[in-house]
Chain A
């Protein structure tokens, strides 16, 4: 069945350090992997996404890597800032109906 595992559940870093969040998915036919940032009480915001025909994508301090063989994808945030503190969710688009299956979330805390 469809499943996305996300680790770690909580992550605390010092300002300026890097943060890495990892996800694995179960359906080898998944072809789209977005990452969302959710601040308390607000909607999830798409911050970066990657398609299955690409191995890596970067947007300023944020990058995502995808290993289709291992069914892993990761979010990398460099030079973290306190405003990066939030809950981050990975997701994989399941082939049937195009629904997104979400990981469990990672609560990132960036300490000044």
Chain B
């Protein structure tokens, strides 16, 4: 149990285009999902907290119009990087927190975004 999937695993896009990343909890309901960004050999930087049915909460310094988050159901959250630029290239990882129990967080496999 507690499997989180992410799609796509890798994406390469041209500068100026938008990219959508999906995060799904496959075998549990997740009222809350989190989006992280990770640079090589660095820690996970929390970008935003995604709550089902409400607006996401963004961390300080993260542009909400740049990184659009939608949490339409208890098993799906999406992150859209709008008008991507090379500096947006990174490893994006989501995590999902169980709605029931002690609320452990489980991570998706990550999405490697490369913007040319």
Interface residues of A (CB under 8 A from B): 32, 34, 36, 41-46, 49, 51, 87, 89, 97-105, 107
Contacts and interface: CB of A to CB of B under 8 A. Distances in A.
10 contacts: A34-B104, A42-B110, A43-B107, A43-B109, A46-B104, A49-B104, A99-B49, A100-B34, A102-B43, A107-B41
A44 B44 contact: yes
Interface residues of B, number: 21
A44 B105 CA distance: 10
A103 B105 CA distance: 16
A49 B93 CA distance: 20
B107 A105 contact: no
B104 A98 contact: no
A16 B57 CA distance: 45
A102 B59 CA distance: 14
Contact of A89 (B44, B106, B110): B44
B106 A46 contact: yes
Contacts of A87: 41
A73 B57 CA distance: 28
Interface of B: 32, 34, 41-44, 46, 49, 57, 93, 95, 97, 102-110
Given A46-B104, A49-B104, A98 B97 contact: yes
B5 to A, nearest CB: 10
Nearest to A104: B43
A14 to B, nearest CB: 23
Contact of B46 (A46, A99, A105): A99
What are the 8 A-B residue pairs with the smallest beta carbon separation, nearest first? Answer: A43-B107, A43-B109, A102-B44, A104-B43, A105-B43, A44-B107, A102-B43, A97-B49
Contacts of A101: 46
A48 B109 CA distance: 19
A49 B108 CA distance: 19
B93 A44 contact: yes
Nearest to B93: A43
A66 to B, nearest CB: 16
